[in-house]
Structure 1
């Protein structure tokens, strides 16, 4: 695969010859030998290396807490974060810490916080946090490699030193790869470059709309079968659906079965397969013209195949998740009755 040529754990590379479509396709790959992809668009103003490092560490910590209990040993027995008591979670974390390079008190504290739905302590060094979080991400995904992909819309002349320093620190502390994508980072000549033009393949693309990130935000490879760890809206909707018996057959972040689209993948946020109900949870970036058009194309393909597509904004879910659940209940029940005839 084209991306394997640019994985350098502990190193930073300026990467050329890839575009948003390539990166989106890489983020969609669901295979043990594929990397975990963390997309980052740095803040546009007042950017310092510490600001970028703290942003990544904070967002990864939130993601790891949302992925609990997948990073604990034996977590394959359950995906219900409430099924483990605090004492049991702490005991599992202590046992796991004997087999990992992560700092044991930090891992135990994260397990305690996740099990009790409280905030973890904040007195650990950023290096301890980043190293531990990277290790727990690898355990959650069952993958070895993590790539932080940094993109920008314009040249980053005013903050190039900060971005370069932050990238090098993150790569070293987390034993991960950092890519600086495109000519926006040309001035960082001390960082080696790698050209992937010859390795790009159109067949590697997915039909998910290209990502247009907001400054100061990250994206994260979804885990098939779970709500996105960096999406508060998906996390809230999942908590609301947990106690709804009619929603038991829901499937998060998996591809649609039975589509013949030249082997291209359509992965959707949430679906009920038997009823052919698809739910997408959209951020503000979906209102931009390119992404809006790509969404309509996906929706048309799904509707032609007999699926009903419902779209909700993040704000709608976060503001009134009860109303969203009620609407989904009615739609799923209606489609279920028709499918069972």
Structure 2
């Protein structure tokens, strides 16, 4: 008997340490009381199990239709005692359920829950409200409802406007802690974006390099893309051996200089980078046109555009990671090449490539 009491106390203490534990504990107690009531009611009243369950539900929920009330002394005592306890426990159960809901929301808001998002984006270092909002808007123009998880140790929580977005998640944790990468569920997502810790300091590129290396170690062997923002172009050498694509954080400076040299060019590039117009740079992997030279491809694209009324233009060639905006006409397209085009989002490369081959015959 003593061991049973000690076990019950330990069980009670264990399940009351957290809102989830209290919810489970209260649910178990309600079920036990209900089963006890049904069993005793069936025993004293001599009715079937279906009727006992029906009477138990009426009593516990205080509905009390009274179509078959307890008639024996034992049945009435059981109804009085256990129904009183059941009503109390039901009240506690609903209260605990609401407490757990608030607790769950608090965990998510404060970044203490694992990332549930899959096939989305994981973003390290919150870049500020304006940039984050712009990033979210642009992504969802082409991927409606796509999920995004922010990992940051300095941020207490995401801005309140994002709290009700089920496709946004926040993880608070140090990037030097391996558990942070596990909580962020990186291996179940398709892209990792690393922002500098300080967008105004070139020395942040060193910390970015460390983080990129850690991410790569964690996802090694997985087909997950890594991108990072570079504060100072002079620091690009640090990332030469990295499996990560760098993007300059001062693109606005590059755009201003380009606009000074060639009016309207910055606006044209801005339209290309924006997803608002339905036309963006697209990169495709050639299969059927491998072995062609660039001049042959240019002629074939022009012919197919005119014949089939397809809006697209060749933009460049990515060959062994070397980006060539204006490749030589005799440049051969190999298995390792990628074709960059300015095209509508609806363009299907496999069908387009088949048309290129067919019209070139």
TM-score with structure 2 setting the length: 0.24
Structure with the higher helix share, 1 or 2: 2
- Larger-gyration structure (1/2): 2
TM-score (norm 1): 0.25
| Higher relative contact order, chain-length normalized (CA < 8 Å, sep 6+) | 1
